[in-house]
């Protein structure tokens, strides 16, 4: 039986991480182009599956298409609702090569979609069709990351089920490469001064959000996070659990290191405790109507 919570030090798979991040952005841009606009940009997100990640069905003309990453057999599959399919192997290849292969597969399927081939939410972005730098793919590392994400997904879904107010699905954002679930108070938030249109829409209402991020090389290993937006007074000094959780002034979020969750006797219980106590801090200090929002 494979470890559901495998070790995931970011330095050991940084090159694969960077390449996979760009591959998901290529597919994510296709989803952005095809999916109907939703509140808070929810239409762009992926979902965790029993084998990897999926766009879920996206409307196209009189049918639909779906694109799925498989991190067990290491393939990318494009399916159409009229029973056509294209499959390509995932292995070491540049972002430019991946972009060309996906584009060619879409043409063979007679899917006409145009995307902006520029990555987002990364430093020094390089157009997909020109990116020969990111070309690593360690299949074992990609599988470990997916297993960690799938384990987190199950716990985040359990946490989401406790809330009867407006909540996002548990979904994966390819821009920031993190898994997230967001609860809403039901009230509009004050406008964010100087925010771009994506951020304004994402935080148009009061939220407490939690999720899983695989970290960043030279900055931080994989971690779970939680934040409130707008952040109420006293949130950063609130008592949360477990004791290993801490507030990062740099990021404006509470963090609980993935390794601390993984090493615990019950990762599920520890992660639920972290999400519950950070939510309670944000909702209580933010004066949410908790009696009407919680089971």
* Mean pLDDT (whole number) for 169-195: 95
pLDDT digits (tens, 9 = 90+) for 82-121: 999 999 999 999 999 999 999 999 999 999 999 999 999 9
148 lies in the same domain as 282: yes
Q: How many domains does the chain have?
A: 2
In a domain, 206, yes or no: yes
- Claim to verify: residue 99 and residue 207 sit in the same structural domain: no
Q: Give the distance between the most distant pair of CA atoms in the chain.
A: 56
How far apart are the C-alpha atoms of 33 and 114, rounded to whole Å? 7
Angstrom distance (rounded) from CA 290 to CA 294: 6
Q: 191 and 288: one domain?
A: yes
Query: Would you state the pLDDT for residue 217?
Result: 87
pLDDT tens digits along 5-24? 999 999 999 999 999 999 99
- Confidence label for 134 from pLDDT (cuts 50, 70 and 90): very high
Domain assignment present for residue 90? The answer is: yes
Identify whether residues 26 and 116 lie together within a single domain.
yes
pLDDT value at residue 242: 98
pLDDT given at position 223: 98
List own/partner pairs for 244-251 with CB under 8 A and 24 or more apart.
245/274, 245/277, 245/278, 251/225, 251/227
Last residue of a domain, one of 90, 109, 130: 130
The pLDDT, as a whole number, for residue 17 is 98
CA 76 vs CA 67, 70, 84, 254: distances in Å:
7, 6, 14, 34
Which residues, in sequence order, are CB contacts of 164 under 8 Å at separation 6+?
Answer: 293, 294, 295
Specify the DSSP element, H or E, that contains 101.
Answer: helix 95-108
User: 121 and 144 in one domain?
Assistant: no
Q: What does the chain come to in residues?
A: 295
Q: 111 and 181: one domain? A: no
pLDDT for 195: 87
Q: Name the 3-class secondary structure at 88.
A: strand
Is the predicted pLDDT of residue 62 greater than 70, yes or no? yes
Q: 62 and 22, same structural domain? A: yes
Residue 1 has pLDDT above 80, yes or no: no
Q: Are residues 26 and 76 in the same domain?
A: yes
Q: Tens digits of per-residue pLDDT, 185-202? A: 999 999 888 889 889 999
Looking at the predicted structure, is the pLDDT value of residue 61 above 60? yes
pLDDT exceeds cutoff 60 at 158 = yes
Residue 114: count of CB within 10 angstroms of its CB: 8
| pLDDT in the model for residue 193 | 84
Structural domain of 209: 139-293
Question: Could you tell me the two tokens for 54?
Answer: 């999926």
């Amino acid at each position: 039986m494979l470890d559901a919570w495998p070790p995931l030090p970011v330095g050991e798979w940084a090159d694969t991480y960077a390449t996979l991040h760009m591959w998901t952005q290529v597919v994510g841009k296709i989803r952005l182009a095809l999916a109907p606009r939703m509140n808070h940009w929810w239409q762009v997100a992926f979902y965790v599956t029993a084998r990897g990640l999926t766009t879920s069905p996206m409307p196209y003309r009189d049918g639909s298409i779906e694109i799925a990453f498989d991190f067990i057999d290491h393939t990318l599959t494009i399916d159409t609702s009229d029973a056509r399919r294209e499959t390509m192997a995932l292995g070491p290849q540049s972002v430019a090569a991946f972009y060309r292969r996906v584009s060619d597969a879409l043409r063979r399927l007679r899917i006409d979609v145009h995307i902006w081939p520029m990555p987002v939410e990364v430093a020094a972005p390089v157009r997909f069709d020109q990116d020969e730098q990111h070309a690593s793919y360690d299949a074992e590392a990609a599988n470990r990351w997916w297993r960690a994400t799938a384990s987190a997904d199950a716990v985040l879904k359990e946490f989401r089920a406790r809330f009867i107010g407006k909540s996002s699905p548990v979904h994966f954002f390819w821009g920031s490469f993190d898994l997230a679930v967001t609860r809403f108070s039901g009230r509009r938030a004050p406008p964010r001064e100087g925010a771009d249109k994506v951020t304004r829409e994402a935080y148009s209402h009061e939220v407490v959000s939690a999720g899983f991020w695989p970290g960043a090389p030279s900055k931080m290993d994989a971690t779970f996070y939680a934040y409130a937006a707008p952040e109420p007074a006293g949130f950063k000094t609130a008592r949360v659990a477990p004791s290993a959780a801490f507030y990062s002034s740099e990021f404006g979020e509470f963090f609980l290191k993935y390794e601390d969750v993984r090493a615990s006797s019950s990762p599920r219980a520890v992660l639920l405790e972290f999400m519950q106590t950070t939510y309670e801090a944000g909702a209580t200090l933010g004066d949410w109507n908790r009696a009407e929002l919680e089971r």
